[in-house]
Structure 1
Amino acid sequence: MSAPTGSNSGAQGGLAVALASALREYKGMWFGWSGEQTDEYTGQITFQRNQGVTTATVDLEEQDIEEYYNGYANRTLWPLFHYRVDLAEYEREFAGGYQRVNERFADTVQPLIEEDDAVWIQDYHLFPLGEELRKRGSKNRLGFFLHIPWPPRRLLSILPEAQALVRSLFAYDVIGFHTEEWLQSFCDYAEHELGAAMIDGNLHLGDRQVKVMACPIGIDAQEFAGLATSTRGRLSFRQMRDAAVGRDMIVGVDRLDYSKGLEERFLGYERFLVEHPEERKEVTLLQIAPPSRATVGSYQKIRSNLEGLAGRINGAYADIDWVPIRYVNQGYPRDVLAGIYRAAKIGLVTPLRDGMNLVAKEYVAAQNPEDPGVLILSRFAGAASQLADAVLINPYSAEEMSDAIMMALRMPREERIERWRKMMDVISREDIGWWRKTFTDALMANPLEPEQQDEDQPAHA
């Protein structure tokens, strides 16, 4: 399994937890960038074993980090795939660095791959890795899963390397997406721009065929529910309730990123304060937003904008015994977050575009079944296709957000319980184990080359 670049350091993230669980089950290996810089790339691998998971990581040179990670991955692909054409940057050096690093990864990881291993590659940092492994003679089963949205055809066509990128994905045997919308956008581009043909659920292009599937990632719902009632979860719950001093709390937890709709969220909350002055001292918004990609200019700008917006709103509406927004720029352990979610009357999850969004599912799992809170969810998050019983909104509309907050605050307990039960059923049924098994079953069903068909077990990469 090849991990999202640099994500091994973020072990508390939902995706990292999900992949670690898969690796423990299949005794796999997690390969990727260490997140560290070196003076010269040597391909030297650092092996570590933690909680039953073996990681094999490499350091990258400063130029690699700038062109591959900060550049093409996060200043070209990330904004474009999240529909932010205005923020996407197209530099040949970025594209060249991205290709170079994926070639280096292929050179480095290929000797670790055994003949009967299945290789599961994760996310947009590593689009070309499968093709590079094929060039080096790999006949293994290769799967790829995209954790971000796939943009519509006309949007993707803006990318100078779009055709080559999509063509490279036909090196894989199975490609997974979180939703049918992302899957259909991929197929639309492949069919209309490359001439691929869909036959029996497989996309055919030349002598290659790839199975495409919608397979939304989940969480371990029961485990996360247990965290909410763990020792630290209960302590966190009590601290939040004490800090609220009888007020209703709204919570948002997001990595500091323009795709998360944080500015729109603050403006929607402000609209609520303006339209419902009688509620001003009855509710507070806690926004937890750990910084990320601090060297990328667009991320520096959003942090500055949010700090200014939070300060303006608090200056306009705060009183000596109440502050409308508590804005925190740091992360917290999962059990602490579970307690915070459980204490919140409303979970406000309003990305402008999101591949899935596991915070929405974690908020639901953390709730008290007898008195659950209300999830307000952007209809543009991948999770909305599963969590139809959330209060779904257009995050661009401050009025819709204001109305949704008022609706959630006044929602009767019976309705809150009914909505929660339906959502909890979904996230319990289509959990992390279901996601893992659904994808790996599809990958292992793909036939190997004739000389390898006796070797038929999932392993590591």
Structure 2
Amino acid sequence: MGRVVVVSNRVAVPRRGEPTAGGLAVALKDVLKSSGGLWFGWSGETRKEPTSRETRRIRSAGIDYATIDLNEQDHKGFYAGFSNATLWPLFHFRLGLMEYDRKHAEAYRRVNRDFAEALLPLLGPQDTIWIHDYQLIPLAAELRALGAKQRIGFFLHIPFPPFAVLSALPDCDKLLKDLLAYDLVGLQTRRDLAGLVNCFSEGLGLEVDAEGGVRGESGGHMRRTQLAAHPIGIDTRGFATLARKAAFTPETQRLVKSMGDRALIVGAERLDYTKGLPHRMRGVAALLANFPEHLNNVTYLQVAARSRNEVASYRDLKRELDSLAGRINGDYGTFDWTPVRYVARAMARDTLAGFYRAARVGLVTPLRDGMNLVAKEYVAAQDPEDPGVLILSQFAGAAETMDGALLVNPLDAQAMGETLDRALRMPLAERRDRWTRMMSGLEEQTAMRWAENFLTELEELPLSGEELIWAEPARN
């Protein structure tokens, strides 16, 4: 039995004084600890010299961590360029925001090759490799080209679009062929799985078999790749405990005191155009305009931590939110009531947990999201005796299983205002019933269960070397 080797763009190396890791990182660390595993990825540091294939190694709490630095230009093209200006908007169905530069695409390939060359010497023949997210889609193909025969799985944390969307990417067939180098490809939802199946069918002419596998050529070999939906969970009990304790922290007590008898609506996301934050503010404005009984009786707190300031669309989004918050407060606020409280910086996880518990409504309305763990954390944070109501976008992956949420289309501000009114008026018995149904699902599908299920499926697949069949050379 070999180790589990986790590979991600950034590595959650433990550092003294940093906030406690989220539930996903905790689950991965637990898996790694049980196998004496390795976590490999970028160090977060850039250098002017060419990317080094020499790794920095540390060991902490039974886990090995190995990181490499990247060349400044390579990282700019790989990360800010192809990963976040091309793939991120493409996979979130935002073609109008997608940018393509062939040099960035080349940097993306080059960095994945550098990752493979740095990782390969660290691998043992019995290791199981688990690669994460859109930045590293070609990594298995690069490892295979270097001779890697280990089981390799891939998990995509963001949505996967159908071919009608993916085909906007030049050479999108290369990205699809890269996925054929994996033994198992995991996605968040059945909808994402259907998108990938559609891409293989229309983009490569490959059909998925009855067991959920697809056969295709990768690196001169015919391979079979298993496709499956593996929805991510959270550390449900851990977050519930955190929220119970956080309810008594000075920060939460200050918030509750400042609210008086008003109901709190809370949202907390990274500042990103996929999260539907302007649409959310317009929904709150619709609530105040159409249901005046809520004037001076409700406050909306939006936490939106800044990110990717180097990308113009993110700077534009920040300006739009600043303007909307000011307009709503100017139109509806009074000398002793501010309807929108807008915080454009990160908050500690335990502080957010306390705020979730204090909120009558959790407003989670992305335009498109792979899963959205904020929705799950909001539910886990609630007081079972007096739980709040989750309003959730129908376009979030979490909507597939969280049947106790009130679903909305975030593009319809009037409908969002009506749903907010319904949530604020919802009787206790209905709130408890909806919360109980969702909490039961969260306790069943935890982050640890997600990791165990994925790795079990991967490790039960035949070793790649047992399945390889040389493809016959093409005949002219």
Q: Do the structures match in fold with TM over 0.5?
A: yes
Q: Output the CA distance in 2 between the equivalents of 1:379 and 1:55.
A: 38
1:117-143 CA-partner distances (Å, limit 9, x unpaired) = 000000000000000000010000000
Identify the residue that residue 20 of structure 1 maps to in structure 2.
29
Matching residue within 195, 200, 213 for 1:202: 213
What do the CA deviations read for 1:302-352 (whole angstroms, capped 9, x no partner)?
111111111111122111111011111222222221111000000000000
Instruction: Give the match for residue 470 of structure 2.
Output: none
Show the counterpart of 1:255.
270
Where does the alignment leave 5 or more consecutive residues of structure 2 unmatched?
14-18, 468-476
Tell me, in whole angstroms, the C-alpha distance in 1 between the residues paired with 2:252 and 2:398: 25
Measured against aligned partners, the alpha-carbon deviations of 1:401-448 in whole angstroms (never above 9, x if no partner) come to 101110001000000000000000001101112111110011000122
Q: Decide whether aligned partners of structure 1 residues 11 and 101 sit closer, same or farther in structure 2, where only a CA change above 3 A counts.
A: farther
CA contact (8 A) 1:110 1:133 kept: yes
RMSD over aligned CA atoms reads: 1.7
TM-score (structure 1 length as normaliser): 0.95
Corresponding residue for residue 393 of structure 1: 408
1:80 to 90, 106, 126: 90
The residue that corresponds to 1:6 in the other structure is 10
Correspondent of 2:440 among 403, 417, 425: 425
Structure scoring higher RCO (CA < 8 A, sep ≥ 6) equals 1
Equivalent of 1:226 in 219, 241, 245: 241
Contact 1:227 1:233 in 2 (8 A): no
- 1:86 partner SS: helix
- 8 Å contact from structure 1 (residues 233, 335) kept in 2: no
Q: How far apart in 2 are the matches of 1:402 and 1:54?
A: 49
Query: 1:37: which partner in 2?
Result: 46
Classify 1:293/1:21 alpha carbon distance in 2 versus 1 (closer, same or farther; 3 Å).
Answer: farther
User: Is 1:447 aligned with 2:462?
Assistant: yes
Residue 342 of structure 1 aligns with an amino acid whose one-letter code is R
Q: How many Å separate the matches in 2 of 1:356 and 1:79? A: 16
Q: Is the 8 A contact 2:23 2:235 kept in 1?
A: no
In structure 2, distance between residues paired with 1:231 and 1:316: 34
Alignment correspondent of 1:185: 195
Quote the offset at 1:13 in angstroms.
4.3
Of all paired residues, the percent bearing the same amino acid is 46
Q: Secondary structure at the match of 2:238?
A: helix
What's the secondary structure of 2:46's corresponding residue? strand
CA distance in 2, matches of 1:233, 1:162: 51
Q: Distance between the aligned counterparts of 1:243 and 1:391, measured in 2?
A: 27
What TM-score does the superposition give when structure 2 sets the normalisation length?
Answer: 0.92
Deviations 1:76-130 (A, max 9, x none): 0000100000000011011000000000000001111111100000000000000
The answer to whether the Cα contact below 8 Å between 1:341 and 1:367 also exists between their aligned partners in 2 is: yes
Count of aligned positions: 452
Contact 1:259–1:351, Cα closer than 8 Å, also in 2: yes
Letter in 2 for 1:133: L
Of stretches 147-156 and 236-245 in structure 1, the one that deviates more from structure 2 is: 236-245
Q: 1:51 deviation in Å?
A: 4.9
Task: Please say which of residues 135-144 and 13-22 is displaced more in the overlay.
Answer: 13-22
Q: Would the aligned equivalents of 1:233 and 1:338 in 2 still touch at CA under 8 Å?
A: no
What is the CA–CA distance in structure 2 between the aligned matches of 1:286 and 1:48, rounded to whole Å? 40
Tell me the CA shift for residue 208 of structure 1.
Answer: 1.0
Q: Do residues 362 (structure 1) and 366 (structure 2) align?
A: no
Superposed displacement of residue 177, structure 1: 0.4
**Could you tell me how far apart the structure 2 residues matched to 1:415 and 1:451 are?**
54
Paired letter, 2:135:
H
Query: Does the C-alpha gap of structure 1 residues 231 and 82 become closer, same or farther in structure 2, counting only changes over 3 Å?
Result: closer
* Partner in structure 1 of residue 66 of structure 2: 56
The residue identity in structure 1 corresponding to 2:376 is K
Assess if the C-alpha contact under 8 Å between 2:269 and 2:305 holds in 1: yes
Give the equivalent residue in structure 2 for 1:109: 119
1:350-381 CA distance string (max 9 Å, x none): 00000000000000000000000000000100
From the superposition, tell whether residues 449 and 265 of structure 1 become closer, same or farther in structure 2 (CA, over 3 Å). closer
The amino acid across from 1:6 in the alignment is R
Cα gap change, 1:301 to 1:49, in 2 (>3 Å): farther
The letter for the 1-side match of 2:206 is A
Partner of 1:68: 78
Instruction: Verify the 8 A CA contact 1:12 1:333 in the aligned structure 2.
Output: no
Counterpart Cα distance in 1 of 2:194 and 2:464 = 29
For 2:103 and 2:248, how far apart are their aligned partners in 1? 47
Return the match for 2:347 from 321, 332, 338: 332
1:414 aligns with 2:414: no
SS of 2:378's equivalent in the other structure is: helix
Q: Are 2:20 and 2:349, in contact at CA under 8 Å, matched by a contact in 1?
A: no
* Inter-CA distance 285–145: structure 2 relative to 1 (3 Å threshold): same
Q: Tell me which residue corresponds to 1:402.
A: 417
CA positional deviation for 1:450: 6.3
Shift of residue 7 of structure 1?
Answer: 5.4
Confirm or deny that 1:119 pairs with 2:134: no
Q: Which deviates more, 433-442 or 340-349?
A: 433-442
2:178 is the alignment partner of 1:168: yes
SS at match of 2:130: strand
Paired residues of 1:11 and 1:17 also in contact (CA < 8 A)? no
Query: What aligned pairs does 1:338-357 form with structure 2 within 5 A after superposition?
Result: 338-357=353-372
CA distance in 1, matches of 2:331, 2:444: 45
Alpha-carbon distance between aligned partners in 2 of 1:82 and 1:450, rounded to the nearest angstrom: 35
Deviation at 1:17, TM superposition (A): 3.7
Query: Is the CA contact (8 Å cut-off) linking 2:266 and 2:359 kept in structure 1?
Result: yes
| 3-state DSSP of counterpart to 2:158 | coil
How far apart are residue 60 of structure 1 and its match? 1.2
